[in-house]
Amino acid sequence: MKRRNTALELTPLLDVILVLMFFILVQSEGRVDAAYEDAQEAFAIEMASYKEAFEAELAARDVEMVELRQSAEDFEALLLSLEMDTTVVLVNLSVDANNVNTRRVIVETSDATTNIPLTWDRLARDNSAMELNAAIAEGISASGGAATFIVFRYEGTRIFDEDHRLIGMAIHNQRLNNPAVFLVEMNVG
């Protein structure tokens, strides 16, 4: 018996395998590109949110710095008033601990103390505003033209906005007429 040499031709089979491998590589490259683009998009979105949060934090810090600078200026002005030959007019808005509707404005100068009740009655409020203006004006005129510091002290969590506006307007009116009057506002609560 004679042995036959049959040689299988692998060339067409190898071509098919190589073509299939090429297609697999091309498809996986497309998937890698898509995954890379998705990762870049997610990273960009995350960075935008971090940037937004950082800018919001910076804005909050800026507001806080402005408030701290104002407090420092108020404190320096108060120290200056104590060192110089100046007059200090203390305006204190006090609220009864048991009844927030019982409020008083106490104006203290070197010469006198004025106690002014505040109510919701319009006529009584107008009279209180006139009495407050007169008491502050008297304290300013007692300074004899020297610098006058009005220290307005109140507990911000326990007062009404309308009371704060009434006192603020009285102080503002006195400052318009007297250029040497300075305001130090102290929220102690």
Q: What is the pLDDT of residues 19-67, one digit of tens each?
A: 888 888 877 777 777 888 888 999 999 999 999 999 999 999 998 888 8
Q: Per this entry, what is the length of the chain?
A: 189
pLDDT for res 183: 83
Last residue of a domain, one of 46, 68, 83: 83
- Amino acid 27: pLDDT: 77
Q: Which one of 36, 53, 83 terminates a domain?
A: 83
State the pTM of this model. 0.53
Q: Is-contact 136 174, C-beta < 8 A? A: yes
Q: Which domain holds residue 65?
A: 11-83
Q: Is the pLDDT of residue 189 over 70?
A: no
The pLDDT assigned to 38 comes to: 87
pLDDT-derived band of residue 77, with 50, 70 and 90 as boundaries? confident
Q: Which of residues 55 and 8 earns the better pLDDT score?
A: 55
User: Which residues 6+ apart lie within 8 Å of 24 measured at CB?
Assistant: none
Is residue 108 predicted with pLDDT exceeding 80?
yes
Is 89 found in the same domain as 66?
no
% of the chain exceeding 70 in pLDDT: 89
Same domain flag for 95 and 179: yes
pLDDT of residue 8: 59
User: Does residue 126 or residue 10 have the better pLDDT?
Assistant: 126
On whether both 105 and 77 belong to a single domain, the answer is no
Q: What six digits make up the tokens of 166?
A: 């009434």
Confidence of residue 3 (pLDDT cuts 50, 70, 90): low
Domain assignment of residue 91, yes or no: yes
CA dist., res. 48 & res. 164, Å (int):
42
Cα separations in angstroms, 86 against 104, 179, 181, 185: 26, 14, 10, 17
Residue 109 and residue 170 in one domain: yes
- Looking at the structure, do residues 72 and 108 belong to the same domain, yes or no? no
79 and 89 fall within a common domain = no
Minimal CA–CA distance to 105: which of 94, 89, 96, 97?
A: 94
